[in-house]
Structure 1
């Protein structure tokens, strides 16, 4: 549906937005009423959240703990997906990142205790962008129990830090003034996953002591679990010919078809398993002091550690010329292995080969190990003071340091030659391989290749800000303030490939892996030979560290930003209607310094940009139950870190000079945003809501290649490459630039209510539902040769969530289903001489179903049960807009049961 038509239909039935889950801090989920246990948490949270949303000046949704250290979900991303406009992606079944109102994770700012933060883990899968350098926050870094509440700000106001084009997520840990006296909460859970079948402990604890004007709180969370994603994948698809294979057994027509180059073969296929042993530790502390009733000081600290020891293995094809089973012949240790022989072939109407039967195809197994560790540290000192009557000063100073280490990222490949059939005829996301050889016999395989790698990244945030609020009258406030921020990100990697290959191929090194081989039985229905890494290194006498002494891709990016704002808030009557809101503007100036390595020596490039961001929020309360909101603002989104890094290359191939590099002179994405919503409230819990939002996005960043450019225009020093000067003509110059412009339009519909009007026991039921539609298109063909016009990367047009809950005196339970429609993951094509491998990659839609239940034995003891991914949802990733098989995985269902005790 076009944007104009959708806007017309939606405006004719505009009616509100957003169910939110929140509760005033310190409200207990189980109240003692004459010795009777009464569960009030979830329903009470909905009612209080409704009021909180109603009172907000900006468009905002919230989630909060229903009790001490009792967040609604075990994962922050999975809790956020219950809100309208929020979609998430999962890693091994667990929520990792969010997309807000159709814009990807890089467009959402995340603040922790009032300070902007960056916290990245990674993905074990290359197809998902394993160690991407961006500004997104990975919400699986911390256990949800460490947090007291979360705010999602969708409209902008001048006092908010600039940079969240989609919105800002505020995370808040618990503080001692949230509770009275002494509070203790302990929780222990244990569970398992249907694929890993391990024991997964999960422990949390909180203790808070409040002496009236002084308080201390400490909390901690520990969890350990094994994860598994298993499935099958291709390496995309490519047009190919016989590639040296013997095709004489085929018909003349089949031979002609292969030789035409029209057929698309999977570049490879494999059965795959990604295992990880994860350990997560989180600690928070908070100290609050109120020396007078006009002065408040808070010190918050947070430490997080996320470790993963990964094991990855594949049973794969290794055909020649980027094909599944074609070609592949070689002479190995004196033995001649001919190219494969094609016995039978079938293809579909799109010329995609769906069935291939070969003899002597080259197969392989890959054994990969990775050790990762993420450490996050933050300290924030904040406070407020009433300086004189009506004048308040609020301030914050904070530091954050995070480090991502992958000291081990190694893989070892075995190869062998055998007969095999690959069959894709079961549908787009189907693969059945029939191996006509013993995949578990070590003597079938020979050692071929060792790859070693390590990767390190560091991030640092420093932040100082202050704000003066002056109450001109009881209904009018003028605020002015300023902010200074420093952000730094640096890193490098080292790698070596094909270690041992020449010795294996020549026969000088024994390639029989029997001394260090073992059988892997973890994949459903198929086993194969893998290697024991320590034994392999010892047997072959390899010291991996000697290959990792030369750092590559060295980069360092630093941003320094100064900002100032002025804002006016009011609450008046206009034409007999309550009218409140704010209006203001924010000025920012950012300096970027990017350092990196090209072919020789370090390179340093600097850039800067500035701007003014106006913002206005208006609320009309037409009657006690009906409210209309309007919001308009400008905002920015800073470029991804990888785009700013100067660690590209300059090459001179017989006078043909090629430059590929990052761009520290990138300007931020810019947007102009408009929101309108109508909200109608009824009963003690219920409301229905509808909202429209519209954004214009300018300066969309993409890679541009220009030919015949003077070297002086690249911005690089003359000494980067010998013989290259400012007057040298660069044949091909590639870098990210601010190039494209697009618009984004969306609708949010939501509602919540209890069913008290129904007869017992159905009167204890309730529901909260929402639906979001977003549309935005960009003609990527104007950016990338071979691409197509499509939706923005990461944008799902449709998102919906439905929660049904039941609550009585001692028992409450809820089940939630979340739908996210398919989306484009990358619009950057892969081009070859025979045509593009793909124009886009993307994911199909998913429906995830989760549940939770609680039974209060007493007012202090509660039994808990959580279920995650109850339907074992498949993640299906495709290659090309025609949706060819790329990756299909499952991660299993996780169940956790336990007990929670409060004092």
Structure 2
């Protein structure tokens, strides 16, 4: 189905359903149907929660999530003001609140700290694509902190809340079934979810499960440059099967109104089975010809194929028991939690290089459109004189058989995080003179262990040299199929897919034989300097008081955190590897104050001053390092890094409107010390002077602490259903927010850099209609360009502005059954990364639009 077909079908269904709703509005004999999980109903509950909160917070209730075409929690959170998403092959994965690095946002699930481990093992970043949106009852973004929240946050704390069996009395069952299609490649989408609960007077039980999967094709082009022009042209096609699964089981016992006991287990996972077909034309290594930024005419260009059938997985398993009790004047809450998070990568790559000069390709390219160069291929033939070469006959298809050199890179990695959390909170109301005050006290102990490795190309197997020793052969050319690439990008020549699954199966069998012959050691797949084990013990205690003085409410207090960290790893010098260990400890006090003032019944002013901390990521603080004495360089972690510390100010004006509406203006400022950034510096101490060699002055590629940084911005938000309009028009509504951001920091050498991830503008808007059983929403999201990475010389890669147009339609057949249609990425977005300007793209990617239709039921 083409983009035009999707747009037409979506518009046709939207018009038909809207016409049906308006027709009902004109018929006085038809009773109004209430949409199950209505936009306005859930919006009203979320706004009431935001209105009554002690701090500055934004909330999305579960039913609102159901009205958006969001398959994971990152996509749902992107509806909140100042929240932007980072995508991987078009799918939402990480979030950035207020344009800040994602390490500045902490995550909890039902109030329990959740420490993420990302793909590749380097970051603390939480993978939101592993948490399906449909198993959550609410998502909240706390933009100012109170003392009962962890201080491990600089710009925000995100809390994902799951359901309770007492959310609805008696027996309740909800679920949905949906099927759809991906525009590019025609792959299938499917979604199944169900939640059943029962609660009586004292006992309740809940069980829920969800599954979402998509078969996706991704178009990808990548480029690199020197002073003359492009050095490589890289064409790729990814074929993916991605799925997200979630399961929830919980029991609760409420013997009376003063006591509640519960146990809850939550499991979520993201799985990505990915085939990659990739060909890289190494333009700068051509035998002859001309090469420029706009065009080139080259003879004898070497090219390489890269193939794999890989797997990426991320899972979270949370187990919590707890209780809430009213003990005389004190209310007490306690939680015991065990959480396990695992990230797994299996990526057995095959690199296939063409052989002789006559097997190279001759080509011309025209980069009038920098993102989509036009390429023409030809054979390479002997030139007019000996030792020279020339362009031969034109080729309509790439020669995929000229790959005699095959190299295997068995990349693999696994990072596991285990944490135990013990938490208790207590509160009581009292009088301070004539002023009512609520006192809160609490303590928490987090015990974490993170172990794993960074991906590394430490085990390179040249198959033509090894396989004859076991009497075997292997050639990537044997796996070329007769299936043409599915692509929306022009190439100028045809390419066929490789059977990566069969290739991987045969490769694994060959590796087993090589291992048995002593020619392959799987333990060498991970470089020792990339392995680490980190233990963290965090003991926290806090105290706060909430005063209500007339129309004002003040929440003030402080949190004390004692942090102890042990880092174990390895340092590699040449072929020698030695263990390395470091210890870090810190005790800090984090004061905060939140002031809320009711100007009137519908208007609130807020001011907050808070402090926080962001500790370095696991891979960046690892003790491992690799030392090259010939190149006089060191590459590795930096266990001596200081955490980033902040003091921040927030202010907000909130006007609550009829029709579950809100108009707000908020501003924030964060001053941050010790900003972390990746760079190349010089070794200045003796930490790497193993084997008696003085390595002072070596180039050191690692993460460093910079100086002071600042991040500030303005957020404008408005949402309302226009209930004041006559008749059927009263179902119309609008929700929108725009954020303006600025920020930079100083590096060690005095340069000023932007924060990675900071778009100067973020826009999120939607128009909705809800009445007479119809719920329809057209949503648009846009974010400005942002810096994705910071290079060692300060030349970072940027991401071009992106947009997304989504359509959601719901129609309630009756109070138990509704139909839905979701259409995503109707703009058929092309994602672009660039170096310096968009005239120098480094990556161009597209996945196409997608749609899904189905039913939802409630009993």
1:134 to 111, 123, 143: 123
- TM-score, normalised by the number of residues in structure 2: 0.86
Aligned pair in 2 of structure 1 residues 397, 510: CA closer, same or farther (>3 Å)?
closer
Q: CA deviation at 1:237?
A: 1.2
For residue 120 of structure 1, report the CA deviation from its aligned partner.
4.6
Flag the 1:598–1:104 CA change in 2: closer, same or farther, 3 A.
Answer: same
CA distance in 2, matches of 1:139, 1:851: 22
Answer whether contact 2:121 2:415 (CA < 8 A) is retained: no
Q: What is the root-mean-square deviation in Å for CA atoms of aligned residues?
A: 2.8
What does residue 373 of structure 1 align with? Answer: 313
524-533 vs 463-472, which moves further:
524-533
Q: 1:810 and 2:773 equivalent?
A: yes
User: What are structure 1's unaligned runs of at least 5 residues?
Assistant: 1-32, 123-130, 240-262, 328-339, 348-352, 831-837
SS in 1 for 2:75: helix
| In structure 2, distance between residues paired with 1:707 and 1:80 | 41
**1:902 Cα shift?**
1.1
1:586 aligns with 2:559: yes
Q: Is the 8 A contact 1:93 1:869 kept in 2?
A: no
Distance 1:890 1:540, change over 3 A: closer
Contact 2:309 2:504 in 1 (8 A): no
Report the more deviating stretch, 671-680 or 403-412.
403-412
Structure 1 window deviating more from structure 2 (432-441 vs 585-594): it is 432-441
How many residue pairs get aligned? The number is 786
> In the aligned structure 1, how far is the partner of 2:626 from the partner of 2:149?
39
Worse overlay, 353-362 or 699-708? 699-708
1:901 corresponds to 2:835: no
Q: In the alignment, what sits opposite 2:23?
A: none
Q: 1:536 to 1:799 in 2, by over 3 A?
A: closer
Whether the 8 Å CA contact 2:736–2:764 is kept in 1: the answer is: yes
- Matched with 2:800 is 844
Give the Å deviation of 1:445: 4.4
Q: CA deviation at 1:528?
A: 2.2
Q: Among residues 726, 736, 761, which one is paired with 1:769 in the alignment?
A: 736
2:439 to 455, 473, 478: 478
Where do residues 674-823 of structure 1 align in structure 2 (5 Å cutoff)?
A: 674-703=649-678, 707=682, 709-711=684-686, 714=687, 721-724=690-693, 731-732=698-699, 735-780=702-747, 782=749, 789-823=752-786
Distance between the aligned counterparts of 1:68 and 1:762, measured in 2?
24
- SS in structure 1 opposite 2:826? coil
Given that residues 440 and 519 in structure 1 are in contact (C-alpha distance below 8 angstroms), is that contact kept between their aligned partners in structure 2?
no
Q: Aligned to 2:34, which of 20, 24, 38? A: 38
- The equivalent of 1:611 in structure 2 is 588
Residue equivalent to 1:6: none
Q: Distance in 2 between matches of 1:705 and 1:886?
A: 22
Judged with a 3 Å threshold, the aligned counterparts in structure 2 of structure 1 residues 443 and 148 are, in CA distance, closer, same or farther, namely: closer
Question: Is 1:385 matched with 2:325?
Answer: yes
2:288 corresponds to 1:341: yes
- Alignment check: 8 A CA contact 1:105 1:136 kept: yes
Give CA deviations for 1:303-352 in whole Å, capped at 9, x if unaligned. 12322211011232034xxx2xx33xxxxxxxxxxxx221x55x4xxxxx
Q: Provide the rounded CA distance (Å) in 2 between the counterparts of 1:897 and 1:882.
A: 37
Q: What's 1:673 paired with?
A: 648
State the 1:469 CA deviation: 0.8
C-alpha deviations, 1:565-623, integer Å up to 9, x for none? 110012221xxxx0112000011111111111112232111111121111000111122
- Report the equivalent of 1:283: 247
1:507-526 map, 5 Å:
514-524=477-487, 526=493
- The reply on whether 1:63 has 2:60 as its aligned counterpart is yes
Partner of 2:302: 362
SS class of match (2:360): strand
* Runs of 4+ that moved beyond 4 A: 33-36, 67-72, 440-445, 501-506, 508-514, 535-541, 656-660, 703-708, 727-735
**SS across alignment from 1:439:** coil
1:446–1:512 Cα contact (<8 Å) kept: yes
Task: Give the CA deviation at 1:728.
Answer: 7.4
Q: Sort the Cα spacing of 1:463 and 1:536 in 2 relative to 1 into closer, same or farther, 3 A.
A: closer
Which of these residues, 568, 571, 574, is aligned with residue 598 of structure 1?
Answer: 571
Q: In the aligned structure 2, how far is the partner of 1:704 from the partner of 1:78?
A: 32
In the TM superposition, residue 536 of structure 1 has moved relative to its aligned partner by 7.9
Please point out which of 133, 155, 161 is paired with 2:144.
155
Paired position in structure 1 for 2:624: 647
TM superposition score normalised by structure 1: 0.82
Q: 819, 822, 838: which is aligned to 1:866? A: 822
Partner SS state of residue 619, structure 2: helix
Greater CA drift, 868-877 or 697-706:
697-706
The answer on 1:543 being equivalent to 2:493 is no
**Structure 2 stretches lacking a partner, 5+ long:** 1-28, 379-394
